[in-house]
Structure 1
């Protein structure tokens, strides 16, 4: 018994010490972050935007970022990124923008809006430079508007055309003797295809080809406009697999050169007209957001409601569209006499039919309050359904929308479970 208590007390003491040390560790980090004043945008600063980060419709505070950088700078929302780029256009302390273009984690529609904001920024005559070790096509779709585009000499530049991959599970389910009973309406309602067929149906192949070719053609046209290369040549370069290295991309005028990071910094210093031994004042879009918290304008009050994620019954959470929460939000907005209009930003592939119906009803009632809908990357199925009641719907050229239909899946697991029970009995 004495041995037990010794072990128990030692373990308890270790736990207490660990909690105390952990508390002071995190308190120190948070205190350090809180003690820092609002970031100051120094003269000749360069706004740095990392395209590999996802800019969510709502602002997000990333705890890992807080720990790593000892900063409470929250990642700006997608809409704030647009407004911060516009702010930088008129900010005398911002001399240019550096796009870190190793990848692009944002959808094609939202990327298009960021691209338009960058094009508007260029009217200020300030520079935009893009740099990457490995530049994807999706990152290039934004980077191609830059004054200069550079890739590391030993890096990679992607130019292979667009494609999609679908996974089909029917063969595996057949082997397991799991029988999904599927009910659906509409031949273009392809969400259940992975469970009921072993390859794409003609209807799904048609709709996928249409939206994929639309996005790819838009990419080629925009690249052609800024790089002064005809679309037929751009298309052929991808079909032939001509671009294998960054040097190939330079030779075909897709990018402006190959540079190491130190050479990139030398060019930026030259543009800023600072000494070679001076440090460049890079300011991330996160810190720039912290320095410019108030981005609101003047005029009438407009309610902005974000409808992002799957549509679900009940209250939902921050990652989806709960019908109860959104009905309440819409109702409060339409009953508030100080609000002159309601804008709903929809980025959803749909979800529950009943939840969509309840939100649609409240949208219909809110129509009396000047109701407008803005589509993000996706507004399909229920995402389109809830929007149909609006006065006006605005979509990006690359928004994927449509797919009105319904489906239900009731899995028949009887044979699979019987086999599993027999195997366990044999063991």
Structure 2
């Protein structure tokens, strides 16, 4: 009997000891995890750093939707909001550690509208006026990228690179013929001749009203491009228009002779130039990309705050019943948001 109780007691002591060991290890692990989480993991910017703006970055007004697989992916997302980009460029303007901006056009152009490009260009101009340099380099440029890069202090093109300068256009796709061929009927409701969103489903060509408004829109964007580039590069607007009308493409040599670029160079030559503006680090220059710079806190740049707020509501996509998704304008969801804003005494205005 005594032997039986001894076995039970020893088993009980062993179990308690094992539990205490597990609790101790778990508590220690939790403490270590909390210490790691409490550490500031934000990137830091060393002295004489170049801010790299990859022109392939997709820029949009609203935060992009992220799928579950993207959330767990180790790959960096190449999409930023316009607000992030403008804030980073203004922060870099005031940051004493940032010496220059590198506009990297080696990759394909990212999704960026003309209005977005215009706001970014103004921010780059403010950076430049602060006495800091902008270097731009690319292999093949179209009008969208060149609109930004033309502001740079040094515009550099690869020796085998090309510049597209053939103007702007619109090519709507019409489905009416295909629908009729396959017996698909379309019913639309619209008010006004200039409401052209449904025309691809009801017509086989542009209506006079739609052609007029597209020509006005594209003509205005093109005229802004011509006058802006001409001013930056000290080129006659007529010369730019003549190239668009008669030539369309410029080789690197032609682009330099006509004043569109400052230098023809390979990447290793550009790398040496950027290193001279910063410092050498691991076979490259000291740099930080635009996305990483979003997480950098700069002491010399105070955060702006106010008791009064202006709410910005983004309505993007088709208008649908119910809550909808992030890619649509859900009637119920937007009603709740606007009601919440209306009842907030600190919100003094709304931008839709």
Shorter-chain TM-score range: 0.7 to 0.9
CA distance 1:242–1:340, change in 2 (3 Å): closer
Matched, 1:335 2:343: yes
Q: Residues of 1 paired with 2:186 and 2:78: CA distance?
A: 43
CA distance 1:109–1:335, change in 2 (3 Å): same
Match of 2:321 in 1: 313
Aligned residue runs from structure 1 range 135-150, under 5 A: 135-150=141-156
Answer with 297-306 or 281-290: which moved more: 297-306
Matched, 1:267 2:273: yes
> Rg bigger for which structure?
2
Matched, 1:237 2:251: no
Q: CA deviation at 1:154?
A: 1.4
Q: Residues of 2 paired with 1:235 and 1:65: CA distance?
A: 46
Q: 2:210 aligns with which of 204, 216, 223?
A: 204
Structure 1: tracts of 5 or more residues without a match: 1-32, 347-427
Q: Residues of 2 paired with 1:65 and 1:268: CA distance?
A: 34
Q: 2:99 aligns with which of 95, 100, 107?
A: 95
Deviation string, structure 1 residues 97-125 (Cα, Å, up to 9, x no partner)? 01123424111111111111111111111
Q: 1:48 aligns with which of 49, 52, 58?
A: 52
Q: Is the 8 A contact 2:59 2:110 kept in 1?
A: no
Match of 2:19 in 1: none
Q: Of the two structures, which has the highest relative contact order with CA contacts closer than 8 Å and spacing of 6 or more?
A: 2
Q: Residues of 2 paired with 1:154 and 1:195: CA distance?
A: 43
Q: Is the 8 A contact 2:100 2:277 kept in 1?
A: no
Q: 1:191 aligns with which of 172, 197, 211?
A: 197
Q: Residues of 2 paired with 1:66 and 1:220: CA distance?
A: 44
Matched, 1:323 2:331: yes
Corresponding residue pairs, total: 309
Q: CA deviation at 1:308?
A: 3.5
Q: CA deviation at 1:50?
A: 1.6
Q: CA deviation at 1:217?
A: 0.3
Match of 2:256 in 1: 250
Q: Residues of 2 paired with 1:253 and 1:308: CA distance?
A: 42
Q: 1:290 aligns with which of 277, 289, 295?
A: 295
The TM-score with structure 1 as length reference comes to: 0.67
Q: Residues of 2 paired with 1:165 and 1:74: CA distance?
A: 28
Q: Is the 8 A contact 1:60 1:74 kept in 2?
A: no
CA distance 1:183–1:275, change in 2 (3 Å): closer
Q: CA deviation at 1:150?
A: 1.3
The TM-score with structure 2 as length reference comes to: 0.80
CA distance 1:156–1:306, change in 2 (3 Å): farther
Aligned residue runs from structure 1 range 4-43, under 5 A: 37-43=41-47
Q: Is the 8 A contact 1:315 1:324 kept in 2?
A: yes
